[in-house]
Every structure is written in C-alpha cells, then in structure tokens.
Amino acid sequence: MATWLEWARGPIFIGAFSFMVLGYLRHLLVTFFEIRRHLRRAGDRTIPTLQIFVATLNWLFPLRKLKSQWLFSATSILFHIAILVVPIFLAGHIVLWARGTGLSWPAIPNHLADVLTLVAIVTAVALVIQRLSARATRNLSRFQDYALPLLIAVPFVTGFGVMHPGVNPFSYDATLLVHVMSANLLLVLMPLSKLSHAVLLPGAQYVSEIGWHWPSDAGSKVAIALNKEGEPV
Amino acid sequence: MTIRQAILTDTTHCIGCNACVDACKKENQLSKDLPRRWKRRIDDLSSTRFTTVLAKSGGRFVRQQCRHCLEPACVSACIVGALTKTPQGPVIYDGDKCMGCRYCMVACPYGIPRYDWEKPIPYVRKCTMCYSRIEAGGQPACVDACDQGATVFGPRDQLREEAHHRLKRNPKKYIDKVYGETQVGGTSVLYVSDIPLDFLSLNPELGDTPLPDLTWAALSKVPPIILGMGGLMAGVWWITGRRQKLAGTVETATDKKEKKS
Amino acid sequence: MTTRQRTLKTVLWALIGIFGVVTIARFVGGLGATTGLNDATPWGFWIAFDVMAGVALAAGGFVLAAAVYIFRLEQYKGFARPAILTALLGYAAVAVGLLYDLGLPWHIWHPIVFPQPRSVLFEVAMCVMIYLTVLLFEFSPAILEHRLFNRPLFRTVHRLIKKLTIVLVIAGIVLSTLHQSSLGSLFLIAPHRVHPLWYSPIIWILFYISAIGLGLMMVTLESFFSAWYFGHPLKLKQLSGLGRAAGSVLLGYAALRLGDLATRGGLAQAFDGSGMAALFWFELSLGALVPGLLLMFSRVRSSSAGLLVTALMTVFGVIGYRFDVAIVAFGRPDGVSYFPSWIEIAVSLGVVACALMVFIWLVERLRVYPEDEEPHSPEPTGAVAPRLAGSLRLLLPHSMSAPRRYSLAAMLGAVGAIFLLADGDLFGAQLAATPVSAPRTIEGKLIDHSAARLMVVDGNRDGRGVLFAHDQHVEDLGDKEACEMCHHQRLPFDSQSACSDCHRDMYLATDIFDHSSHINHLEGRQGCSRCHRNADQVKTRETATPCADCHQGMIVTGSSITPPTGGSTGLAVGYLDAMHGLCISCHQRESAADATEPSTGDCALCHQKQAVASWRHIGPYAAPAKPGDTK
C-alpha cells in the first residue's frame, strides 16, 4: 500500500499536474493566436475594453447575483472559496510541496481547514440539489454539471477522514490513496472539462466579444453561400 | 632540459594497505566513492578515485593509475588540447579547454580517464602524477605515502635501470619484463611484478607502436586528399564542360550519349 | 492537406513535445542521470546515430552535387536540390545532437581557438563546420528565389553565388571526402577496443565508400518519401540509374572490406561461428552484399518495390556498420554493458523530427522540388469544417484546426515524457542501493573492553568480524524498552534481528525509527501529542520532537559516527559509516594506549583475508577471555 501511495503522489501526481499546467498553457496559446488571427481579419476592430473589463469583474466576483439568487449564489461562493483555499493552504499539502520542490508558503490553521472542508462537502451536495430543484437549470444541465461537484467532494471527504483517523472507519492508507487519486483525476479533468473555467474565466468575456467581430466581407459571403446575392436583407 | 620523471611500482612489495589511495584522495580533494551505475564492475577507478589497489589472487596487490604514456593516445586524440604531455612526464588536463567529447576515453589503451557522469558540468578525471608537486620539486602524493617502497619516483632512465637491476638480481622471483618500458611507445609508469600484468590494459596485445602513429597514418593524407580530390573534380568538370560545348554543335544525338556516360 | 500529411505532422509534433521535456532533463540532470553511458562506454547512441549515422545519411548532398555539377549528368538535376537540403538539415541535426552528447556543450567553439591538427576529431569538426557553411551557400539560391528577397541587393548576391556554384561544389566534395572518411579514422587509435572484424587500417576508406553508396540510396529513399508525402511522381528511370551506381559502389565497398580482411589474415575469424562473426556477416550482407547484388539486376532496379527494399536495406545496413564500430564491436571489460536509455533515443528522434519539420516547412514555402511550379501550400491555420472520415477521428478529430491539433500532440508528448521521467528515478543519478547481507553474532560473546562492552559480529561467517557495541546500541535505541527492536523472538532460526535490518544500505542513511513500537509504548493514540506537540502543525518527522529529547545520550561519546543531519530524526547512518565509525574509533583508542595493537591505517585488518586473517587476531579476542567477560 505504501508503494502505491508513493506512486500516486509521486509520478502520477507529477503527470497529472503537468497535464493540467501544459493543458492550460496550450489553451492559452491557442486562444491567443486565434484571437490575433480573428482580429486581423475582422472588419470592425474596435473593442469595448472598459465594458469587457467590468463584465469580467462581474463574473469573477458575482456579488450582484446575491440579490437575485441569494441562496444559489451564496452556496456557490462558499464552495469556490473552500475548494480553492483548502488544497492550496493546507499545511499537509505545503509540506509535500516543500519536500518535492523546496517551495513553501504560509498555511491556514488545521481547525479552519476542517471547517472549510465541511463547507466544501456540504456546498458541493447543495449545488447538485439546487441544480436539480429548478426546471430551468435541470434542462440546461449536462452530465458533467452533476458529476463534477460530487467528484470534487470526494477528495474533501477522504481528506477529512485522513486528518481525523479517529472518526474514519476505513484504513488510513486506503483513504489516503482514494484522496490522492481522486485529486489527480480532477487535475487531469481541469483542462478537459468545464473545470477549465478556473483559468480561462477571466478571458471568457473578451473571447466572446471577439467572436462577434466578423470579417468585413462576411455578409456578402453568407449571401453567396445562400444563393441570395444582391437581394435586400 | 628537464628530466623525464617516472614512477616505478614493484608489486612484490605492495601489501595492499591503500595508503596511496588515501593520499591521492587527500591531495586531489576527491569525495567518497559512492556506488554509481556507470562504474560498476569495471575496476575501482572512477572520477573520485585516480588510483586504486587491485587485489589479485595469491595475496598480490597491483596499483592501477594513469600510465602517463610517452606518446599518449589521449593527448593526440584531444580535439582542443585540454590534455597535454609535460616535459617532466605527467599527462595533465585543463578543464577550461575541455568540451567534453570523451574521445580521450575512447583512445586510452588502459581505460584510465573517467568522467563526472553525475554532474551537470562534468570533467574528465584522471591521475596527473601530482604535477604541481613535481613542479615544486616534490614527488607524487601516492609515492610519498608508500611506507613499503613499493612505488617509487625518479628520473625515468634511472628507474628503468633499477627495474632491470631488480629483475637481474632476482630472476626467479620476477617475470622477466618491465611493464611499460616499450608498450605503446613506453609509459612513464613502470611496473615489475611476479604475476602477469596484462589485465592493466584493455587488450593484452597492445604492441610497441605508439597509438598516435595509427591515426597519423590517415591524418597525414589530408593535404594530398584536398589537392587530389579538388584537382580531380576540377579536371572532370573541365572535361565534361568541354565535351558539352563540343556536343552543342550537334545537339540531339550527343545528349543521349552523355547521359549514358 | 492529406490525411497522411496530417498524421505525420501530428506524430512529429508529439516527438517534439517529448524532445522538449527530455532536453530539460538532459541539461539539468547531467549525462549520467539521463543516458546509459558509463566509464567503459564513453560514446553511445548519440555519437553512433546522431553523428556517425547522421553524417553518413547526409552524404547524398555531395554525391548528387558531384553528379550534377561536376559530371554534368543533367538528368539528376531534379534530385540535387532536395539532396542538398537534406544534407544541410542533416548536418544541422548532427550539430544539435552533438550539443546533447558533449559534456560541456557551451565549449563547442573551442576547436576554433585551440586547434589541434594532430587530432582526427579536430579535422572532423573543422570539416563539418565549414561544410555546413558551404551547404548553406549551396542551398541559398532556393531561399533567394523567394519573393521576400526580390530586391536588387539580394539579386546581386544570388547571381554571385550562382557564379561560385562550381567552387562551392568542389569545396563541398573535398570537405565531405575528408570528414566522411575521418569518422572512420577516429577509431584507428583504438585497435585495442574495436573488434578485429571491424578494425582496419583502411577503415577510413571503407567509411568513405560506404557513405557514397548510402548517400545514393538515401536520395532514392527521399524520392519515395516525397512521392508518399507530397505526391510527386516517382522518377523511376533516374532512380534506376542511381541504383545502378549505388549497387556498384556497395559491391566495391563489400569487396574492399572482405579483401582487406583477407589480406590481413582476419578472414578466419569471420567463420569462427561466434556471435560477432554472425553480426559481421549480417551487417555486411544487409548493408552491401545483398542490396548491391540485387541492384545488378535491371528488373529490381526498375521496379519501385525493388528500389525501396534495397534502399531500406542499405540504410539500415550501413547505419548498422556505424553502430557496430561505435558501440557493438567496441570493447568493454567483461560484465560491463551498454544499452541506450529511452531519453537518448527520445533526443535522437526529437532531433530527426525537428529536421523533418523544417524540411516540410521549407518545401511548403520554397521551390525545393523543381517539378513543383509553386511551393506546396502550407496547411491552413484556420478552423476546419467538421468531417467524419479518418481512422484517428476519435483521438484527433479532423474538425480540429492545425494549431489546435499539433499543440495537443506536442502537449501530450510532453506530459508523457514528464510522467516517464518522474516514474523512472533518473536512473544512475541516484545511488544504487547496496543492501548488506545479514551479519550475525558469533556465539553471542560479549567482551568487556575498556568500559564499552563489545560483541564480535561476523558478517558472512567467514571468520572475519566487526565489533558491535551492544551497550551503545541499547543506549541509542531507548534503553531497556528498545530490547525488542532486536530481540523479539519471532524470527525463525534467528534469535535477534540482523544488523542489516536497521543498517539497510552500505552508504545511505536508514530509518531505524519504529513508529508502531512507540505508539504501543505511549498508550496508543493518546500518545501522539507526546511527540507531535503542536496540533496545528503537520505531523512529520521534521516537526516531531527530536529523539534526543526523550532518549538522552543518543550520541555516544568517543564514537566517530556522525549522525545524518537535516532535522530528520530517527535516521541512522549507513552500514559502512556505522561500522567504520564504530571500529575505527575503538582501534584508535586502543592503539593509542598500546603500541602492539593494530593501527587504524591498516584497513587490510578487516578488508583483506590475506592481510591480517581473522577476527581471532583482533585485540581483545586474541587473549584468552576471562570468565567474567562472557555473558
């Protein structure tokens, strides 16, 4: 078991983590070059930069939504805070980073981590329930919209079990292995699934704005394609 | 005229105490010998061990070190002159010139030069006969450390005489051969022994020809090749050109002929 | 853009992704960590493939240049430019590959400032360097034809270079002759290492002639590639002519090699039935005899299948010749072997992939093939309409645009390489673990010896032993509570644990801290906080209370053992340091007190059977033991 554990948090983690980093890097590079290509061909090259900036901020910090959908928004905000803070600032994780790379940074107290872990578990389940409870969201949801919050909950549940062996009915090593492997799976899924919004969200408003900047001759080309050349719109 | 120095090792006097190895390590500030993949099963020489005492059956000990050939293959092989044969005898190494091609390791008939494989900035490592000590008028650290007089230092001619003297005085004890006297043109590290020392070289049939002569046989042909090949090509070019010109008068028929040629 | 073009480019990009990662590993980790090289194998895959084979494969450049410009065989003109480009990229690849092999690649320019005319390698380096420049000039017309250079200045340069063509070609031929042969001369200095079936005083002539044959067949192979990849028609008539020339050259090479062997009286060795003899015949047949004979038949020569097969045979056979000389037939001491690491192969493949990418990139932009009216159009970078055909659809959908597809391939290659690097421990860089055999005590004798009670422990039961400080161990491991660490009476045939159970490795520090034993003694989980005092801290070795806080007197006075540093507790020094530290300090103490005791300088005391024989001669035991001394 110890060997499996070392394998999971050694080579497998390094592979999964570099998959995430390089996957995101590739997304960013491809996006960058596609934006440049689009802009070169675009007829209208004026970009409403300030508006995009404001919209991006609104999406990054959706505090306004608290007014209209307060329960859903509050759950979501708490969920995001918990799943960002705990993995990065847990003392046990920082020790592993220090062991492998020599890098370390301040940690949060373990008690706070416990609380945030419970928050993450509860909100992950709540997010799924909320999504199921309304017809509109139910119709819009795909499989990964349900699966991902639950999958994210797995490392938190097992992590809590690892930190509190007294209340954990399962073997310590087995729990830790599930913890590490589920986290590795999430790392791999990050650039592949909707989890990619973790890095790509700040650029999303800009990219979708660019998408509406057609080449100047786009209209006539569409008309040619539709065999309606010369006809009034 | 500097005197050509040498080391004479008499294996019959060696008790295998490894004092020479310790002295060498101290002198060259070499670190501990750690078990690395790239030096396993060869011998004990490595980038952290320039000399070593090989234990042979029958309680014999043979010290292995760079032989400091009189006409060293490594020096002739070195592409940048990082290895040089000094007039005093030692073959020394200049890491600032070395570019790490390791041709010296290919060339050495005794398999002496070793490499810092574990380091991102590696150098060739081998015995330098404590050149700095010799320059200061001293003798190599290993010789200094030998209590038994198994390895001695002095002018090569004297040591050669001494070696023959020992063989003559005690013909039953020794094998009648001064190892390193003539092999590959002679070496600055001589051995007399009561057991065959062929294992010290990578191939027992080394012969007495200096190895650099072998490459020089091919290398000396470079100027003739340049002139010959250049002249030949220019000549052929001129001939084919002239033929084409002549053929230009009668076009179609000769075109085909040329292709066949 | 055909499917095969897209597939090849995808594979090449994946190789380049791997190449990028292993490049970092090579230069950060060093040669030992990333290659299979060792002190007996200074030259390996990179020299044999990237340099030896690379240069030989690029011989088509000078052979075709000679045929077209010197012998004015106009029908081969179409082959000249691609052959010269192949040579240019081939030599560039050689230079790049060499950077990986050199230990100090940033000194690669040193031959220019520290010339060594007596070194063959110096001659090779100079020739390759100058020839690379010559090739650049030879190829430059193709670059200067591009509309980007359609300016008066460049047109003048273009005209000048065209006038100089014949000088460049002759220079190229002379330089090629020199270094193609000198690659063989490199091994002249090692008659003691290269197997007699391969070593020859005329090895440099053999290298040169085989390179000409190989160069011709490489041009053939290249035509097959351009037919397969760019869809050019195969010019069978001209290829057949090249094949006939190549066949004669290859047969000449084989005859010369066998004749040379025979005149030197080595032919008997080729029939001695050894593995090397078999390799010799296999390599010579594959590279020269069989393709050479086959090419004598016009039926083989004029069929595309015959040409392809003979070309492949020649390429593999002649590369095999280079590999044999540089690696297989290159002598090593018994028991030492070499096999290239995957990193070495990945680097070589990566260099080739880069060269091929540049080749394709140039063909898509310049007029390399005279039969092309226009350069092949580059692959569009924009979005591609979805299409549902193709076998690799699931993995790499056709609807993906070129940048997306190729960046994905490179990224997957890179991740795969990172995983492989992380999974293998950069072998060789780590110390090889040398587990020690289990030493056992002899008769359990305890000797009261100047206040430190010592026990003679005989490792392999060969009559030679080391002194085991029993009481010191008791003290170090936690007094009476620690007895069970060695004496637990649950091992069959063994009354106590062997030394190697704790001192597990000759050189590396070993964990001797028994966590569960501590838990039991500290009343289960209630005891965690006795060592892990701060609840907010992670429970690791580093943050736990040091052993010495409870076990006072961990470090024995007078012992020269230095415990491993670095904050970790519970680690013991390796077997070698433990034994040396323990024995030598005692010996020093004793020899200081009594001049008749053996001194520490005599390592042979323990290490050579012949020197001081057995443990029975060691100080305290030689004297008859008093009854009170034995427990």
Among residues C167, C117, C58, the alpha carbon closest in space to that of B222 is found at C117
* Count of CA atoms in the C-beta half-sphere (13 A) of C87: 36
Tell me the count of A-C CB pairs closer than 8 A.
49
Cβ contacts of C528 within 8 Å, gap of 6 or more: C519, C522, C539
Can you read off the two tokens belonging to residue B4? 């050509």
pLDDT score at C629: 40
pLDDT score at C13: 95
Write down the residue that tokens 């230079």 correspond to: C95
pLDDT score at B67: 94
Structure confidence at residue C275 as a pLDDT band (50, 70, 90): very high
**C595 φ, ψ to 5°?**
-65, -20
CB B132 within 8 A of CB B139: no
Residue A11 to residue C411, Cβ atoms within 8 A = no
B238/C contact by beta carbon, under 8 A:
no
pLDDT score at C615: 40
Q: Assign residue B79 the CATH number of its domain.
A: 3.30.70.20
The enclosing H or E element of B151 equals: strand B151-155
Integer Cα distance of C268 and C265 in angstroms: 7
Integer Cα distance of C197 and C331 in angstroms: 12
The minimal CB distance from C418 to the residues A14, A95, A166 is found for A14
Mean pLDDT, chain A, whole residue set? 88
B203/C contact by beta carbon, under 8 A:
yes
Q: Which residues of B touch C343 (CB under 8 A)?
A: none
pLDDT of residue B182 exceeding 60, the answer is yes
Count of the separate structural domains present in chain B: 2
pLDDT of residue C361 exceeding 80, the answer is yes
Among residues A88, A74, A61, A183, the alpha carbon closest in space to that of A123 is found at A74
State the amino acid at position B64 in one-letter form.
Q
Can you read off the two tokens belonging to residue A118? 């419970």
Domain residue ranges of chain A, discontinuous segments joined by +:
49-212
What is the phi-psi region of residue C381: left when phi exceeds 0, alpha when psi lies from -120 to 50, beta otherwise? alpha
Residue A166 to residue C537, Cβ atoms within 8 A = no
pLDDT of residue A167 exceeding 90, the answer is no
Q: Which residues of C touch B121 (CB under 8 A)?
A: 103-104
Cβ contacts of C385 within 8 Å, gap of 6 or more: C399
Structure confidence at residue C245 as a pLDDT band (50, 70, 90): very high
Shared domain check, B76 and B137: yes
Chain segment C290-323, per-residue pLDDT in tens: 999 999 999 999 899 999 999 999 999 999 999 9
State the amino acid at position C420 in one-letter form.
L
Mean pLDDT, rounded, for B121-150: 92
Please tell me the least confidently modeled range out of B115-124, B218-227, C145-154: C145-154
pLDDT of residue C228 exceeding 60, the answer is yes
The residue in chain C having the minimum alpha-carbon distance to the alpha carbon of residue A24 is C411
Integer Cα distance of C249 and C291 in angstroms: 11
Residue C411 to residue A15, Cβ atoms within 8 A = no
Q: Which residues of B touch C123 (CB under 8 A)?
A: 219, 222
Residue C553 exposed, middle or buried by CB count within 10 Å (0-12, 13-18, 19+): exposed
The minimal CB distance from A15 to the residues C408, C411, C422 is found for C422
Q: How far is CA C558 from CA B33, C562, C603, C629, in A?
A: 25, 11, 20, 22
pLDDT score at C566: 56
Cβ contacts of C540 within 8 Å, gap of 6 or more: A95
Shared domain check, B171 and B156: yes
B214/C contact by beta carbon, under 8 A:
yes
CA angle at C537 for the pair C564 and A109, rounded to the nearest 5°? 155
Cα dihedral value C39, C40, C46, C50, nearest 10? 140
Q: Do C and A touch (≥3 CB pairs < 8 Å)?
A: yes
CA distance C85 to chain B (A): 22
Residue C419 to residue A15, Cβ atoms within 8 A = yes
Beta strand B60-64 with C452-458: parallel, antiparallel or unpaired? unpaired
CA distance C474 to chain B (A): 30
Interface probe for C, chosen from A12, A14, A21 (most Cβ of C below 10 Å), is A14
Note down the domain range covering B228: 221-260
Among residues B168, B162, B158, B200, the alpha carbon closest in space to that of B183 is found at B200
Return the top range by mean pLDDT from A180-194, C226-240, C566-580. Answer: A180-194
Shared domain check, B199 and B153: yes
pLDDT of residue A142 exceeding 70, the answer is yes
CB A120 within 8 A of CB A156: yes
Q: Do B and A touch (≥3 CB pairs < 8 Å)?
A: no
CA angle at C17 for the pair C12 and C19, rounded to the nearest 5°? 90
pLDDT of residue C329 exceeding 50, the answer is yes
pLDDT of residue A131 exceeding 70, the answer is yes
pLDDT score at C383: 52
pLDDT of residue A204 exceeding 70, the answer is yes
The residue in chain C having the minimum alpha-carbon distance to the alpha carbon of residue A93 is C538
Residue C130 exposed, middle or buried by CB count within 10 Å (0-12, 13-18, 19+): middle
pLDDT of residue C427 exceeding 60, the answer is no
pLDDT of residue B203 exceeding 80, the answer is yes
Structure confidence at residue C463 as a pLDDT band (50, 70, 90): low
Interface probe for A, chosen from C418, C541, C568 (most Cβ of A below 10 Å), is C418
Mean pLDDT, rounded, for A155-168: 90
Residue B240 to residue C70, Cβ atoms within 8 A = yes
What is the phi-psi region of residue B109: left when phi exceeds 0, alpha when psi lies from -120 to 50, beta otherwise? alpha
Integer Cα distance of B76 and A28 in angstroms: 54
Shared domain check, B229 and B192: no
CB A81 within 8 A of CB A124: no
Chain segment B87-113, per-residue pLDDT in tens: 999 999 999 999 999 999 999 999 999
Chain segment B57-68, per-residue pLDDT in tens: 777 889 999 999
Interface probe for C, chosen from B33, B219, B258 (most Cβ of C below 10 Å), is B219
Q: Which chains touch A (3 or more CB pairs under 8 A)?
A: C
pTM: 0.84
Shared domain check, B106 and B190: yes
pLDDT of residue C459 exceeding 70, the answer is no
Shared domain check, B138 and B22: yes
pLDDT of residue C607 exceeding 60, the answer is no
Shared domain check, B228 and B138: no
Residue C403 to residue A10, Cβ atoms within 8 A = no
- Rg (C-alpha) for chain C, rounded Å, is 35
Integer Cα distance of A41 and A49 in angstroms: 19
pLDDT score at C618: 41
CB atoms within 10 A of CB C448: 16
Interface probe for B, chosen from C50, C94, C119, C175 (most Cβ of B below 10 Å), is C119
CB atoms within 10 A of CB C78: 18
Structure confidence at residue C250 as a pLDDT band (50, 70, 90): very high
Structure confidence at residue C209 as a pLDDT band (50, 70, 90): very high
Beta strand B124-125 with B83-85: parallel, antiparallel or unpaired? unpaired
Chain segment A35-84, per-residue pLDDT in tens: 888 888 887 778 888 999 998 888 888 877 778 788 888 899 999 999 99
Among residues C220, C216, C300, the alpha carbon closest in space to that of C253 is found at C216
Q: Which residues of C touch A109 (CB under 8 A)?
A: 536
CB C409 within 8 A of CB C19: no
In the structure, how many helices (H) and strands (E) does chain B have? 9, 9
Q: Which residues of C touch A23 (CB under 8 A)?
A: 411
**B49 φ, ψ to 5°?**
-150, 100
The enclosing H or E element of C32 equals: helix C31-34
Q: Report which of residues C446 and B181 the model is more confident about.
A: B181
Cβ contacts of B127 within 8 Å, gap of 6 or more: B24, B50, B51, B65, B66, B68, B112
Chain segment B27-64, per-residue pLDDT in tens: 999 987 877 888 777 777 899 999 998 888 777 889 99
Q: How far is CA C116 from CA A86, B23, C37, C126, C542, in A?
A: 63, 34, 26, 11, 55
pLDDT score at A228: 76
Q: Could you tell me where the DSSP H helices lie in C150-202?
A: 152-185
Mean pLDDT, chain B, whole residue set? 89
Integer Cα distance of C466 and C602 in angstroms: 14
